[in-house]
Structure 1
């Protein structure tokens, strides 16, 4: 019986330690903003830039990646203004709604942040 109590105490300490580590590792909104800027910039460079119109002598295609890099501070500001964070102590859920001017669609992203990592589990066009 004493052995069972010892294992129970050790298990309880391990659960508490795990919870404390998760709470400490819960990333904040600035961390999410950095993640979102990096993810969106990568997407723009790999998916959108190659499809840019060849108008203006290919100027947009040639400089698209440079324009994305130069616009990162503005992208970060837009993400900061359009993101809501729900903090659950052990993890956070971030919802970002990017409304672009017509004729472009609006996009919504939902991401979970846990243990200093981010996982986007929903990305949809509204």
Structure 2
């Protein structure tokens, strides 16, 4: 009797692990999702930080310029990112350097269950 309940527990546990693994693999965010996420984060940062440093009467134009530059931002991010796909999740490493006098940045982001989370940001 104990053997039978142990066997059922192993089968149920195995099915649960397979189910969770399958869900993780199916919801591993794509590179395109990462580009959209990173461009959104960068746009928000530029609007809040960079646009706040320009004179007040130009802040609206600054925000509009940031919005217009979102597609080129995606391309810059794509060219600066390496994806490590581990089937169940992905790690995105972005080394962003726009121009020489400006600082460069290193970001690491994990993609899991359709979510992207930046877990390391470093100015270089």
Shorter-normalised TM range: over 0.9
What is the correspondence of 1:88-103 to structure 2 with a 5 Å cutoff? 88-103=86-101
Shift of 1:58: 4.5
The answer for unaligned runs of 5 or more in structure 1 is none
Corresponding residue of 1:12: 14
1:81 to 59, 79, 82: 79
SS in 1 for 2:110: strand
What's the counterpart of residue 66 of structure 2? 68
Deviation at 1:122, TM superposition (A): 0.6
Which segments of structure 1 move beyond 2 Å, counting only runs of 4 or more?
none
- RMSD over aligned CA atoms reads 1.3
Counterpart CA distance in 2 for 1:100 and 1:37 is 14
Map of 1:32 onto structure 2:
34
TM-score (norm 1): 0.91
- TM-score by structure 2 length? 0.93
- How many Å separate the matches in 1 of 2:24 and 2:16? 12
